[in-house]
Structure 1
């Protein structure tokens, strides 16, 4: 059986890694001409779900190498006000790792060396009873028994396969960047959110080598040309929007670097669909706002679960149907939780009706 994976993000690479370990024929096609061309964020949070998934798809040696690059935060979410007074503490329990997105992607890419082709933009696919053919914008095609859309929130696979599935705006924009670890002293939690008036938020989370620092606000409260601003203007904009906040916050913003803005969007949950040889995982199926810290963990879970379903063998469609039922249930439940958390803390717009 040949598995075609569209998208060399974390979910697609994790799936390919799991399939390769079992000796299955897998090929990954990525639209970007080379790795690391797009800015997608820095630090990611792994919980038990993501940790278990990664350990099942990576070789023990690669996992040990990667784990040595991680940071173990205090297992809690803390919310502070602009004076750094505690508003909320949520004890999380379980295992937690703070990781660098690029480091994880490189580790997964090393696991599937030679199986990823860059610069291949999918334009569509044709599905038959016994095979699927993917078409690319250079005129080439590839045929296999399963096609997996792991191509993110703008998934070409999803647009053709589930044209009724919707992506909605959250009304929020987040600016991501890094600060030196010492600037985040006392904020070694899974996540520390400093929330102020107008749903403005500064988020801090450490990794082994730096701390990620983000600023979120309603889109209407931010200048429309953020994507055109230099680093100095972005820092100045956030400094103005956090005027009067604790001096430690101002020091963090002054030390902020590698900043970029991202408009936050979310999937709108839909009912289960008829299972075929085409399926989805991660953000291609259930993109969500970061307000629950669940997106990366569920992408890893999807990858591990789909790999296990394909590795077990047996009739293909029932195996894919069982994977999809769980993926849909867990994924859209997390979409709803993220939306509710985002509305409460960040002013996220309500989810539209499906």
Structure 2
């Protein structure tokens, strides 16, 4: 199997395939696993935890889970003066984990299967195999090619060019604050929403709390990625003028801040199954407003391993995987868009 992309979904897939005795080669366009900032804290629900349980070695999973933090299973919203305005209780198990810790854990048993610095330029499907082409002139062939290469997927761009990726109208600045500043906000997620769709988001892990500031893109100046940490903090301090003093104490100690435009897939009907398939954000990217993206990528990986390990004809197995992946993935895209519109001021999801 060829896996394009060594993000969380691709690494989970590689772990599961290897444990099932299925050969796998992973190709990642980044020159190393540390080159890009992708966020800090992640929310894991039962969906993601169950998926990890099925693809990881038990001792690896136990060591990883020992690093997790268990927040109160609820979403809480405050106004700018920290008066509580909404509480939504969640069922099931919820964990706050560090993205880097999870990635390092998933890398541990499959590092030798990964080749870095390999940018996919295209692929060709032939009878019985798929051949991938890379920008260094090399090729690789296998029974199946899986695009796990994220929202900017090169696999999807060739395979399903009609899938649209659109902006949500929102930009978020992600960073960290000391956990003591998040006292009283130890929830799955805490949102502090103010006028003009300006939102602070807080979620503790064991060692820090992730802290984000989101706003409409047209409410923010250009060149955020060029700004110093001091300038970003000053900008958000100005945009939260009059908010509770605790919020300003958070901003003063906010660090490792970087901006990210929030984008989403637009759902489409199922496509004809071939020896090429997708998982995670390559298929169903979504805004973070439901805390579901990483969980669904892990679930996709576990589900794909299950159908491939079961044996039998390949195309019907992939079709079974894709039917569930498309239905549940695009359902989550719609839920995330609805939550994002209600809480964050996200643009409505286009009809098509």
TM-based fold match above 0.5: yes
Deviation at 1:111, TM superposition (A): 2.0
SS at 1:76's partner residue?
strand
Deviation at 1:294, TM superposition (A): 0.5
Picking from 333, 346, 351, the partner of 2:344 is: 346
Picking from 194, 200, 203, the partner of 2:201 is: 203
Deviation at 1:135, TM superposition (A): 0.3
Deviation at 1:225, TM superposition (A): 1.4
CA distance in 2, matches of 1:59, 1:116: 18
* Deviation beyond 2 Å, 4+ runs, structure 1: none
Deviation at 1:22, TM superposition (A): 1.1
Deviation at 1:113, TM superposition (A): 2.4
1:9-88 alignment runs, 5 A limit: 9-88=7-86
SS at 1:348's partner residue?
coil
Picking from 222, 239, 242, the partner of 1:241 is: 239
Picking from 318, 321, 324, the partner of 2:319 is: 321
Q: Which residue of 1 aligns with 2:5?
A: 7
CA distance in 1, matches of 2:269, 2:109: 35
Deviation at 1:280, TM superposition (A): 0.1
CA distance in 2, matches of 1:113, 1:285: 24
Q: Which residue of 1 aligns with 2:101?
A: 103
SS at 1:123's partner residue?
strand
CA distance in 1, matches of 2:127, 2:299: 28
TM-score (norm 1): 0.99
SS at 1:120's partner residue?
coil
Picking from 112, 115, 132, the partner of 1:114 is: 112
CA-to-aligned-CA distance 1:173-229 (integer Å, 9 cap, x gap):
000000011111111100000000001000000011100000000001111111110
Deviation at 1:36, TM superposition (A): 1.4
Picking from 214, 221, 226, the partner of 1:223 is: 221
Deviation at 1:129, TM superposition (A): 2.5
Deviation at 1:353, TM superposition (A): 2.2
CA distance in 2, matches of 1:189, 1:351: 27
Determine whether 1:123 maps to 2:97: no
Query: Would you say how many aligned residue pairs link Structure 1 and Structure 2?
Result: 352
1:293-304 alignment runs, 5 A limit: 293-304=291-302
CA distance in 2, matches of 1:224, 1:281: 33
CA distance in 1, matches of 2:177, 2:91: 27
TM-score (norm 2): 0.99
CA-to-aligned-CA distance 1:49-79 (integer Å, 9 cap, x gap):
0000001100000001101111011000000
CA-to-aligned-CA distance 1:58-113 (integer Å, 9 cap, x gap):
00000011011110110000000001111100000100110000110000011212
CA-to-aligned-CA distance 1:143-168 (integer Å, 9 cap, x gap):
00000000000000000000111100
